[in-house]
Amino acid sequence: MAMQSKAPFVLVHGAWHGGWCWRIVAAALRKAGHPVFTPTLTGMGSRLHLGRADTGLNTHIEDVANVLKFEELKGAVLVGHSYGGAVCQGVFDRVGSQISKLIMLDASVLDDGESMTSKSSPEMMAGAKASLIDGFKLPTWPPEAFGVLPEDGWVYDWVKRRLTSMPFGSLTTPLALKNGDVTDPNVLFINCNGRPFGDNSRPGLQKAKARGWTVQDLDTGHDAMVTAPDALANMLLAAL
């Protein structure tokens, strides 16, 4: 087996998405010589059929941790987008020795014991529960909620066709960290600030600054991997 030459990237998508959303970015990283893995989290995308009522954040942490384990990755660059940021926090907590750099892309950042819905109002939670499909699948938001707009042409249609429902438990499961919050300036938080809905993850940005992480701005919407894939790929490569 050939030895790993350049740092492998593990790209983790956010809510309602799948590994498909990294296609263009992954191609650019591979062209630069890096192995790239784009796992699809259980209950979304091509693994939509595997979601269950008990599928939650811990399931998704295990999804990604197992990629690092069974691909025997060392010195991996772990990138988490949106909800995927919470997943990557859990992965870093479990298998941090296999990860050389953590990059949070317009990501959700949770405190130990906090879930994605911890600060949601009772009214919002009631509305979400009333909308569930089959009692546990949360319907998707439209592309506009991720900063992908009709004027993006084929990209808008591509994203709209592929967004799926997701297990509601993903958003209600508290993050459990054994090693506490990461306060390392080597962690990079990429703040997407250039489009409507681009401040989706402003709470994450505030936590990133409070933890002393490095912050860089990217002039695009929340779904940077589809609206600015070349710029994002260049930023990821420059972060090494």
Question: Of 79, 42, 88, nearest to 63 (Cα)?
Answer: 42
CA gap 28, 34 in Å, rounded: 9
Catalytic residue among 5, 82, 97, 131: 82
Contact of 18 with 84, CB cutoff 8 Å: no
User: Is 82 designated active site?
Assistant: yes
Contact of 79 with 103, CB cutoff 8 Å: yes
The sign one gets for the Cα dihedral 140, 142, 147, 153 is positive
CB atoms within 10 A of CB 114: 15
> Which residues fall within 8 angstroms of residue 205, CB to CB, at 6 or more apart?
189, 191, 215
CA gap 108, 201 in Å, rounded: 6
Residue listed under structure tokens 């409507």: 196
Indicate the SS3 state at residue 189.
Answer: strand
CA gap 83, 49 in Å, rounded: 20
CB atoms within 10 A of CB 46: 12
Active site residues: 82
